[in-house]
Amino acid sequence: MKLSSREARAFLRAPRPGIAAALITGEDAARVALARGDLVAAWAGPGAEAEMRIDRLAAAEIRRNPALLPDAVKARGFFPGTRVVVLDEATDGLAPALQTALEGWSAGDAHLVVAGAGLPARGALRRLFEAARHAVVIALYDDPPDPAEIEALLREADLHPDPEAYEAILAAAQSLPPGEFRGLLEKLSLYQSAGTEPLTAEAVAALAPATGEAGMEDLLLALSEGRKDRVPTLLARLSARGGAPVAVAIALARHWRAALLVKAARRRRGRACRPASPGRGDPASGDPARCGLAARSAGGGAAADRGSRSRAARRIHGAAGGLAGADAAQAGGAARSLIPGLP
């Protein structure tokens, strides 16, 4: 069966009785890894690693010898307690081996946690787990945690923020990837353990990672590669950090201007990136992120630049529908500044 987002959060903290296996998938590998760790800890309990009650298998091993998986599930450990078999980097090609393990599972066997990033909804693996009566599918989406989930994480980390710090943590949850947000909570927990005063917004700001530049680079990369499904999420994250749609449009204009300079440099010197030239504003070859972004957009010259700029602006214009009020108006205006005549 497939669990909803709310059911999945509850299941990761306290798995239902009678469930033998879980398939965890999502586009964000860090989010998948965190969920996998939470479920393994919930099923195996404390001391499982020391008591060797967790058996980790690689997908490559199962491809070479499919019998390893059902054997690991049926094995008995030396120490008492629940055993868990973890299979990482699973793909649809492992469906036959997993079907054998699920069909042969009985009470007392190890629980099975299968993790795979980006598994298709109609793929063999997801259909197998959705059809099994004693297995669940946990599909993780690139959405920030809601307030209830954040409060649960704060309780788990034993954090006691004041109202302003709580608002700062909520904002960080909207803008940071899940792995970085968990890391921030861990740092805040260590910071607060040194004293008894409530956590302040200043402490949150001091310990939060600076990701504004990286967020803009991610958005530019998504637009350059035509990954329009990521644009609304990245725009929302930038907005949560205080980024304005107009700033996005300015960054796009600079990006494609740099792409044309790179194209010209390639024609002159036969190199994709050249040393920085302050007089001409050429990008430096020592910045892999900028060179990579520029190289993706420089392949077709001025005509390709106009087409890419047009497509990117239309994506921003379409994503503006997910914003509200002044932000939507600004995003629409930014897109129209790149394409005259855009409605």
SS (H, E, C) 69-83: HHHHHHCCCCCCCCC
* pLDDT score at 298: 45
Looking at residue 28, its pLDDT comes to 77
Closest CA to 43 of 28, 53, 56: 53
| Distance from C-alpha of 116 to C-alpha of 126, rounded to nearest angstrom | 10
209 CB-near residues (< 8 Å, 6+ apart): 176, 180, 183, 184
Q: pLDDT per position in the chain (343 positions), as tens? A: 889 888 888 899 889 888 999 999 988 777 888 899 999 999 998 888 888 899 999 999 999 999 999 999 999 888 888 999 999 999 999 999 999 999 999 988 999 999 998 898 889 999 999 999 899 999 987 677 778 778 888 888 888 888 888 888 888 887 777 777 888 888 888 888 766 678 888 888 888 776 555 567 777 777 777 777 777 777 766 665 556 666 677 777 777 777 777 667 666 655 444 444 444 444 444 444 445 544 554 444 444 444 544 555 554 445 444 444 444 455 455 444 444 444 4
Q: What pLDDT was estimated at residue 266?
A: 66
CA 167 to chain centre: 22
Question: Comparing C-alpha atoms, which of 225, 289, 282 is closest to residue 254?
Answer: 282
DSSP of 134-162: TEEEEEE-S-PPPHHHHHHHHHHTT--B-
Give the count of beta carbons closer than 10 Å to the beta carbon of residue 272.
16
Q: What is the pLDDT of residue 338?
A: 44
pLDDT at 280: 46
pLDDT reported for residue 304: 45
pLDDT at 83: 93
Q: Is 298 helix (H, G, I), strand (E, B) or coil?
A: coil
Closest of 20, 1, 2, 22 to residue 12, by C-alpha: 22
HSE, side-chain direction, 13 A CA sphere, residue 238? 28
pLDDT on residue 214: 54
